[in-house]
Structure 1
Amino acid sequence: MRVSLVICTYMRAKPLQRLLESVKIQENYPNEILIIDGSINDETRIILQQNKYDNLKYFKVSDQDRGLTKQRNFGISKVDPESDIVCFLDDDTVLTPHYFKEICNTFQSNDDIIGVGGIAINENKWKPQDNNRNYNKKKFYLFEGYFYKEGLRNVARNSLGLASNLGPGKMPLYSHGRTCGFPMTGKTYEVDLLIGMSMSFKKGILDRIKFSKFFEGYGLYEDADFSLRALQFGKNVINTNAKLYHYHDPSGRPNRYKYGKMVVRNGWYVWRIKNPNPKFIDRFKWNSITVLLFLIRFVNILTEKNKIVPLTEGVGRMVGYFSLVFAKPALPTSDN
């Protein structure tokens, strides 16, 4: 399969170089690597000039194409028309050597699969179950012989009957799905949502739909929106053998107030993409969980060392929530 890799980057020259070094040793090397650089300096361009990577094409975008959503769509427009698969990776990830081989094998295993994602090893908190131990279902989530220790927000949701009624990667009708991912079982699981750090789609899908203009700017949840719209063409899956590391480099991220506001407003938008006509119970649960989560963020002021982070994010979430009363995001009228 012909693979095009699109990496959108902003002010992360060193993390990008680290990612490309991991691409360099891949068993299946991409047929083309497109770097879409929105940086406001030349550090990324200089590093790429100083280090050679086969099949690499570099594009420095102007203000009008800067931002994750715009850069992804720009990258799609530059992909080789003969490509079969387009892979997207965050610029602060590092791949294990068989990553692209696993992605290609997954697509080839089933013609119905149109989207494939991997898992971040360093973020995986699953552990094998102890058969001699009883697990409190409010504090632990159990799955195929593994357990995942729930955080405060999910313990609260479990206790209040607001937990997701679906497995990992699936979005319930009231949104707020499980974010625990999957244990490294070596299996492939069907999901609704792929994560932007590691997602690949058949080229034909990207010829038909693009990343939504609603998310232009920082783009929080643009991956969820695209994943949901792609489901009209086939299945999305997570291959737990497609492994990488995700380091969440802090550069290029918005402040916590803006982030908190986007969590709510963008989250509402994605929820309504999934469920455009929610029933009363779906509305009740979405609102209840959203309020619960921003209240918990305020509680975190008492438990976190840097108290300004949960405070500003909590205020952002609260402002974002009440802003929905007066100005809800406009939903698309079509998939285009």
Structure 2
Amino acid sequence: MPHQAQALSFDVVIATRNRPEALALTIPLLLGQSRRPEKLIIIDSSDDHAPVAQVVADTTAGQGIEVIVEHTKRGTARQRNRGLSHVSADVVFFPDDDTLFFPGTSAAIMDIYERDTSRQVAAVNPAVSLTPPEGALDGAAYGMSQSHTREARTVGWRTRLGRLLPDINPRFVIGRILVDRAPDLSWLDELEAKPVEWMTGFRMTFRTEALRATGFEPVFGGYSLFEDTDASWAVSEFGCVLGTRRGQVYHHRFPSGRADRYGLGAMGLANLAYLMAKHSTDRGLTAAQRREALRKTRSYARLRMLAARLRALRGDRGAAEDLRGMKAAWPSIDRLFAAPRADLARLYLDIKHEIGID
């Protein structure tokens, strides 16, 4: 018997900060899709909200969709949760403010949710393109930094290498367990989709009811590193997480300002430790799997510190700050894994205060 797909709606939430030039590229591509959102929700934490509000007004004028623009406190997870509170559609997209959609991408994503008549899919992410949509950057107000350009050109082989060497990244301990648990859906090959270990933050979409039950981790502040993995794993309680090759996006990364390298180094380890400790319990890992998660989290942290030390010895001052931050966060790994689940969030907040990160 042929499947009976039901037409579903979707809203788009974009968390942004000090990037009106990025929104000027992103919004027209979203609204030019063959499947358009019911709402466009922009949650802005810019120092000056006016330029963002103006770009949103200019790019959405006459488009015939509901637009919500709010100015709020900084924090990726906080802003995304605020945006989620405005969502009323069946599905919600969370692109970054510098995510460029190829034609047909929203339709490819929605095809999967609509084909999932048994409601066993909680989240879908499109593929990453190594090149931008044709003409999308004509007259663009900014270009990517050299380091971001190198990352974009090598994302394909770096992703493949990461999958060949899963021992390097402790997230594969939990991610692969969840992939193994995914239901066997007969139509996945037809839509070029398959279960994935987690989604990356610039291309996330969710079934709204699944994400609303969990939200984005509220204890993550500032840049909210790993909030994307956390949300991907949290919604696995309600269904599987899929990737599809039919839809594509290009991450035209906005040049960042001078980074707090100490803070990023410390956050990278503290947030990872919190993520792994939390989901080792919440995802029902066995005692042996939990020990493996701890072992690989420690090993990964040591590898990161060694790499930073080598860069620092070559005169990289930023790497020296990375290393200082990671050293400060190192004890948090054992502390978080040893904590009772009920005490985990409070302990993590205490650790952030102790090591001086947002």
What is the TM-score with the length of structure 1 in the denominator?
0.76
Report whether the alignment pairs 1:211 with 2:220. no
Q: How far does the alpha carbon of each residue in 1:292-320 deviate from its partner, in whole angstroms, 9 at most, with x for none?
A: 121112223467xx822322222222221
Q: How does 1:99-248 map to 2 (within 5 A)?
A: 99-110=105-116, 111-122=119-130, 123=152, 125=154, 148=160, 150=161, 162-163=167-168, 170-171=175-176, 187-248=192-253
Identify the residue that residue 78 of structure 1 maps to in structure 2: 86
Q: TM-score, normalised by structure 2?
A: 0.72
1:323: Cα distance to partner? Answer: 4.6
Indicate whether 1:298 and 2:309 are aligned: yes
State the partner residue of 2:136.
none
* Alignment coverage as a number of residue pairs: 294
1:34–1:168 Cα change, 3 Å: farther
Task: Give yes or no for the alignment of 1:29 onto 2:39.
Answer: no
5+ long unaligned stretches in structure 2: 1-7, 131-151, 179-189, 282-286, 346-358
Structure 1: distance between partners of 2:111 and 2:174: 21
Task: Indicate conservation of the 8 Å contact 1:164/1:172, yes or no.
Answer: no
Q: Tell me, yes or no, if structure 1 residue 60 matches structure 2 residue 70.
A: yes
Tell me which amino acid in the other structure corresponds to 1:93. Answer: T
Residues 1:317 and 1:172: Cα distance change in structure 2 (over 3 Å): farther
Q: Which amino acid is 1:92 matched to?
A: D
The residue type equivalent to 1:102 in the other structure is A
Equivalent AA in structure 2 for residue 58 of structure 1: I
CA contact (8 A) 2:14 2:41 kept: yes
CA separation in 2, counterparts of 1:325 and 1:167? 19
CA shift digits 1:173-215 (9 cap, x unpaired)? 9xxxxxxxxxxx9831202311110111112113322112111
In structure 2, what is the equivalent of residue 177 of structure 1? none
The offset of 1:232, in angstroms, is: 0.8
Residue 46 (structure 1) shift: 1.9
In 2: Cα distance, 1:207 partner to 1:170 partner: 21
CA distance in structure 2 between the aligned counterparts of 1:37 and 1:18, rounded to whole angstroms: 16
| Letter paired with 2:94 | F
The whole-number CA distance in structure 1 between the counterparts of 2:192 and 2:109 is 13
Structure 2 letter corresponding to 1:188: A
Equivalent of residue 269 in structure 2, options 252, 261, 264: 264
Q: CA deviation at 1:164?
A: 6.0
Distance between the aligned counterparts of 1:260 and 1:216, measured in 2?
15
Identify which of 75, 98, 121 aligns with 1:92. Answer: 98
Amino acid at match of 2:296: K
Amino acid at match of 1:287: R
Q: Is 1:320 matched with 2:329? A: yes
What SS is found at the alignment partner of 2:175? coil
RMSD of aligned Cα (Å): 3.4
Q: What SS class does the counterpart of residue 104 from structure 1 fall into?
A: helix
Could you tell me how far 1:171 is from its partner in structure 2?
4.8
1: CA distance between counterparts of 2:84 and 2:110? 19
SS in 2 for 1:214: coil
Are the structure 2 counterparts of residues 88 and 13 from structure 1 closer, same or farther at C-alpha, using a change threshold of 3 Å?
A: same
Query: How many Å separate the matches in 1 of 2:321 and 2:69?
Result: 35
What SS does the aligned partner of 2:242 have?
strand
What is the one-letter code of the residue matched to 1:297? A
The answer to whether the Cα contact below 8 Å between 2:175 and 2:198 also exists between their aligned partners in 1 is yes
* 1:124/1:114 CA distance change after superposition, 3 Å: farther
Percent of counterpart pairs with the same letter? Answer: 22
CA distance in 2, matches of 1:187, 1:118: 10
Deviation at 1:322, TM superposition (A): 3.3
Q: Could you say which residue in structure 1 is the equivalent of 2:145?
A: none
